[in-house]
Amino acid sequence: MPTVQLFDTVSVSYVAKSPSGEVVESVPEEKPITLSIGQGRILKAVEASLMGMQPGDTKTVNIQPEDAYGPYHKALVHEIPRASFEGRIDPKPGMILSLSVERDGQQQQVPATVLAAGNNTVTIDYNHPLAGMVISYTVKLHAIGN
């Protein structure tokens, strides 16, 4: 029986979970996706875990932060004056906002999570919500080829 090789087109389903067991992403078995190994449609480390698998195989792999959503950087947590939100939004902990930041001399919109909202300041986290976490992927290979 053939096994997955680089550049193969494969049909897969998967469930990705955070360390707490929360499902953060999934592709159901009833509706697998088709992708070409090496094209980066899913995390490269997950693609690499498919190598050598045969149709019908299931595998669970733990993807380290540097191969998933990156490490958690404390420097990306900022306190912003509450007044900067005046008249636009009332920030509450847990909200994900789209904020404008300057990067390489240009303004860009980036997602940020509200960690705390005090009377005078709002604590914002610019890290990806899954940064610093080991993500567990359970992948199933349905088919190799078109």
41 close to 35: Cβ distance less than 8 angstroms: yes
pLDDT, residue 146, reads 59
Cα atoms found within 13 Å of the Cα of residue 127, Cβ hemisphere only: 20
Other C-beta atoms lying within 10 Å of the C-beta of residue 47:
21
CA dihedral (38, 51, 66, 27) in degrees, to 10, reads 80
Q: Rounded to whole angstroms, how far apart are CA atoms 103 and 119?
A: 29
∠ Cα 6 10 14 (to 5°):
110
Place of tokens 């697998």: 32
pLDDT (tens place) for every residue of the chain, 146 residues total: 789 998 999 999 999 999 999 999 999 999 999 999 988 888 999 999 999 999 999 999 999 999 999 999 999 999 999 998 887 889 999 999 888 877 788 888 888 999 999 999 999 999 999 999 999 999 999 999 85
pLDDT, residue 145, reads 85
Q: Residue 132 — left, alpha, or beta (φ > 0 → left; ψ -120 to 50 → alpha)?
A: left
pLDDT, residue 106, reads 87
- Phi/psi for 27 (5° steps) reads -125, 115
80 close to 122: Cβ distance less than 8 angstroms: yes
For the chain, how many helices (H) and strands (E)?
Answer: 1, 9
Q: Which two tokens stand for residue 125?
A: 């986290």
pLDDT, residue 105, reads 85
**Which structural domains are found in the chain, ordered by start?**
9-69+131-144 (3.10.50.40), 74-125 (2.40.10.330)
pLDDT, residue 103, reads 78
